[in-house]
Chain A
């Protein structure tokens, strides 16, 4: 499977981990600095929305992020 999955507790404190992970994966795939910055914004905002509007139980809920490559893979 061409996918990397990341699970974080659904709390704002962990969204920086998502950005770090995204940076690592996107760098490895050869994306430019500007493209990675744009991806960071898009993915972080999606996580913000999940934390702000999707959380039912702050102590139990998780956010599941899946990085997929439809090209040559990782």
Chain B
């Protein structure tokens, strides 16, 4: 089992702000994620995208952050997408019941 330190890669294009979450998202890195979200969460000019392709683990606090982002973006009527969910993470999203609230953005659709 290879443990990659958690990191966030910020990508911007014309229509999207994309945060690539890489490594293990657990209680210890919540402040890091909150810090990365703060400047982009309330922007309505671009869709906010979380790309989870490199995510190897997520715990309940990480899922809690995603739910809070969902709520904020929904209230603002601002687009929010999750991209490339790994199967182990998808399983937890299904178990916790948040899958139905997530819009999985594709390259064309997001």
Q: What residues of chain A have their CB less than 8 Å away from a CB belonging to chain B?
A: 11-13, 15-16, 19-20, 23-24, 37, 40-41, 44-45, 48, 51-52
Contacts and interface: CB of A to CB of B under 8 A. Distances in A.
Contacts of A41: 59, 92
Nearest to A37: B88
Interface centre among A11, A24, A45 (most CB of B within 10 A): A45
A15 B27 contact: yes
B60 interface: yes
Counting from the closest, the 6 A-B pairs by CB-CB distance are A12-B28, A12-B27, A23-B1, A13-B28, A48-B27, A37-B88
A45 B1 CA distance: 19
B57 A40 contact: yes
B3 A48 contact: no
Contacts of A13: 28
16 contacts: A11-B28, A12-B26, A12-B27, A12-B28, A15-B26, A15-B27, A16-B26, A16-B28, A19-B24, A20-B3, A24-B1, A37-B88, A37-B91, A44-B26, A44-B59, A51-B27
Interface in B43-74: 57, 59-61
Contacts of A19: 24, 57
B27 A52 contact: yes
B59 to A, nearest CB: 5
Contact of B61 (A11, A16, A48): A48
Interface string B8-44: 0000000000000000101110000000000000000
A20 B57 CA distance: 12
A48 to B, nearest CB: 5
A21 to B, nearest CB: 10
